[in-house]
Every structure is written in structure tokens, then in C-alpha cells.
């Protein structure tokens, strides 16, 4: 690395952690840091119309991306968008129903996959790329901009099930019934995800995170085929076109398979869910990748001494190696914003 590049890592705490260096005060950002727990988000969201309208409105999406940075001074901003803009851009009908979540016209077999089209994919996502450009130009250079997409398995669970489900039965059923057909869907998602992440990087994203929120319900063989393989291909595809851009994986709830995930995908960082023991993260994962996590989002809701104690435990266990403070999953809407402010103060003390 030349002097200029290494200097720039030194002054950007998130990039420094992702380059493998520990820090006396770890960088911090929170998954879903822009969202309904913030009154200023709810105001913009109400003015935007639907949730997807907000995702495709660059000035408003840039504004809500920056809100948590202005309020809390996080070390990273994450693009405001959603993992389901990808199926939307492939021509699948996607809606977000108030108080219900995403609803899609389910794709349940090979014929359904045939209805998807890449023709308008990048044009459709152009407003998201414009948001990335607007956010990057408004951010202080010390604040890192994170781009993201959903991992193919998690995106496929929504595309096949038509909505969120606790067990992802529809996608698991498709994958067992017709693995070759299902792999055509996963392969398509791998290909477009590489294009989409590289376009975000070209527009100004400096790190990318791959969200595999539903990785945890798969047996080991299916985990290897539908989570590890695609994450490896995406990591390698991004590296080939955008060398030096760190990739963070998030195989949520994968338990002891987290270690295989890191070794086999070659990600730079791994986001750890709340259930992973700190000793396991420190001893088994941190020697191989920068670790991120893993405070329980519900502890951030209740706050108080229990929150303070847990923050200290996490800092004590993980600050000796490359570490990014974060939650184990996204902030929930009932989180008091003051608790987030206290969290940031405690980390920076």
C-alpha cells in the first residue's frame, strides 16, 4: 500500500479495522441505523409515500442515510435502500405493505425464474446509485460509506416465499425438490449482485456488506451450496473488479459454521449475530477476519446498567483484535434514540 493510501486508512476508523488493525476505541455503526426509531426518519418517510418510493428518491434517501451520522457521529454511513430492490429490478412485483412487510408475487418453479429479466436491471437501480453519489459527496472523509445487497439465499427466500417467514419453508422446499432449477435462481442473483455492488463502489461505496439474514436455517450441505458458495463467488467477483474494497459477510445464525464461512469465502470482515459467544468470536473468528457485532438489539431497547455491562463485556473480549462495534441484527423501531447516544458515548470513552 502506498503512503497516501495507508494514511487514508489511518484517518478512517472503519477501514483501519477492516485492514486488520485493532484500535483503542473501535469504530461503531449500527445495522438499520436509519429507520423508524428516529423521528426525523418517520417525517421523511411520511413525505416520501411508500417505502420503495423512498428507496428510489435520491435526495430523500440520501437525507435519511445521513440522519444517524448527524445525530450520533457514527464512523460509517450505510446506504439507505433495501435488499428487495434487486428482485424489483429483475421485474418481480415487490410491495411493502404497512405493518406487514414485503409482499412479492412468488416464484415457485423454473417457469417463474424465466419471467425475470436483467434487461432493465441497472437502469432501474440508477436512483440508488445516485443516492450513493449524493451521500459520498456530503460525508466527511473520515466517515466510511457502506454499500450492500442481500445474499442470494436470503433474497431468494423472499422471491420464492412471496413474503418473510420464520422457517423459509418455500425456498427450502424448492431447493430440495429441484436443486438444479433453484441454482439457476441463485446463479442469476450472484451475477447481478456482483454488477450491483461494483456499481455502488464506482458511485462511492468504500466497503460492501452482504446480508444473509436467513443463513441459519440450513443444514451444512445446503449452507455450503446456497450460502458459502454464492458469498465466495460474489467476494471474488467484487475483488476482481474493485480490488482493495473490503467485503463484510453476515451469515446470520450460522453458529459453528461461521468459521467455515470465513475460511471458504475469504471475506475481510464478518458480522456476528447476538447468539455467538464472545469467546468463540475472539478465539475462532477474529484471528481470520475483522469481527463486527454483536450487541442484542433488544438490550438497546431496555437500556440501563445491563446494557452498560454488556457493552463492557463485548469491548473487553474483542478490542484486542480487529473489531467493529455493532448490533447482532438491525435496530428495532421501539429503540429510544437516547440509548443509542449513550452507547456511542460509552464506546468512545
Q: Which residues bind ligand CP3 (CB under 6 A)?
A: 31-36, 45, 51, 78, 80, 82-84, 96, 101-102, 148, 150, 154, 164, 211, 213, 330
Min dist. Cβ of residue 320 to ligand CP3 (A): 27
Known catalytic residue at 309:
no
Q: Which is nearer to ligand CP3, 51 or 280 (CB)?
A: 51
Catalytic residue of the set 37, 41, 56, 158: 158
Length of the chain as a residue count: 349
Q: Which is nearer to ligand CP3, 45 or 172 (CB)?
A: 45
Q: Which is nearer to ligand CP3, 332 or 347 (CB)?
A: 332
To 5 degrees, how large is the angle CA 243–CA 8–CA 59? 80
Distance between CA 221 and CA 257 in Å, rounded? 11
Concatenated DSSP letters of 115-169: T--STTHHHHHHHHHHHHHHHHHHS-TTSEEEEEEE-HHHHHHHHHHSB--SS-H
Nearest-CB residue to ligand CP3? 213
Known catalytic residue at 133:
no
Min dist. Cβ of residue 56 to ligand CP3 (A): 13
Give every CB contact of residue 295 below 8 A, 6+ residues apart in sequence: 274, 310, 311, 314, 325, 326, 327, 328, 343
Known catalytic residue at 82:
yes
Give every CB contact of residue 235 below 8 A, 6+ residues apart in sequence: 210, 247, 249, 265, 266, 267
Q: Which is nearer to ligand CP3, 60 or 317 (CB)?
A: 60
Known catalytic residue at 42:
no
- Per the CB < 8 A criterion, the answer to whether 349 and 327 are in contact is no
Min dist. Cβ of residue 339 to ligand CP3 (A): 17
Min dist. Cβ of residue 165 to ligand CP3 (A): 10
Known catalytic residue at 158:
yes
Q: Which residues are catalytic?
A: 32, 36, 45, 82, 158
Amino acid at each position: 500500500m502506498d503512503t497516501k493510501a495507508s494514511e487514508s486508512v489511518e484517518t478512517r476508523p472503519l477501514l483501519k479495522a477492516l485492514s486488520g488493525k485493532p484500535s483503542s476505541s473501535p469504530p461503531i455503526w449500527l445495522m438499520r441505523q436509519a429507520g423508524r426509531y428516529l423521528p426525523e426518519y418517520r417525517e421523511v418517510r411520511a413525505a416520501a409515500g411508500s417505502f420503495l418510493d423512498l428507496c428510489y428518491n435520491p435526495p430523500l434517501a440520501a437525507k435519511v442515510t445521513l440522519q444517524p451520522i448527524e445525530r450520533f457521529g457514527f464512523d460509517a454511513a450505510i446506504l439507505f435502500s433495501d435488499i428487495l430492490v434487486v428482485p424489483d429490478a429483475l421485474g418481480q412485483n415487490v410491495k411493502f405493505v404497512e405493518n406487514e412487510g414485503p409482499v412479492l408475487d412468488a416464484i415457485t418453479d423454473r417457469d417463474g425464474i424465466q419471467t425475470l429479466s436483467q434487461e432493465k436491471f441497472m437502469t432501474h437501480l440508477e436512483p440508488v446509485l445516485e443516492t450513493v453519489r449524493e451521500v459520498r459527496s456530503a460525508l466527511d472523509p473520515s466517515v466510511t460509506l457502506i454499500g450492500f445487497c442481500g445474499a442470494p439465499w436470503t433474497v431468494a427466500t423472499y422471491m420464492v416465499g412471496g413474503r418473510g417467514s420464520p422457517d423459509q419453508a418455500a425456498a427450502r422446499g424448492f431447493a430440495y425438490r429441484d436443486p438444479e432449477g433453484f441454482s439457476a435462481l441463485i446463479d442469476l442473483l450472484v451475477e447481478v449482485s456482483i454488477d450491483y455492488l461494483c456499481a455502488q463502489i464506482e458511485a462511492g461505496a468504500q466497503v460492501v456488506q452482504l446480508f444473509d439474514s436467513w443463513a441459519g436455517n440450513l443444514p451444512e450441505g445446503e449452507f455450503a451450496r446456497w450460502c458459502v458458495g454464492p458469498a465466495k463467488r460474489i467476494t471474488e467477483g467484487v475483488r476482481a473488479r474493485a480490488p482493495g474494497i473490503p467485503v463484510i459477510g453476515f451469515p446470520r445464525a450460522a453458529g459453528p459454521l461461521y468459521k467455515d464461512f470465513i475460511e471458504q469465502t475469504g471475506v475481510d470482515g464478518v458480522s456476528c449475530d447476538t447468539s455467538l459467544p464472545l469467546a468463540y468470536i475472539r478465539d475462532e473468528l477474529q484471528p481470520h477476519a475483522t469481527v463486527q457485532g454483536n450487541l442484542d438489539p433488544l438490550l438497546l431497547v431496555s437500556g440501563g446498567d445491563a446494557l452498560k455491562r454488556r457493552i463492557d463485556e463485548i469491548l473487553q473480549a474483542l478490542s484486542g483484535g480487529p473489531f467493529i462495534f455493532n448490533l447482532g441484527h438491525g435496530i428495532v423501531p421501539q429503540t429510544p434514540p437516547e440509548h443509542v447516544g449513550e452507547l456511542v458515548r460509552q464506546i468512545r470513552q
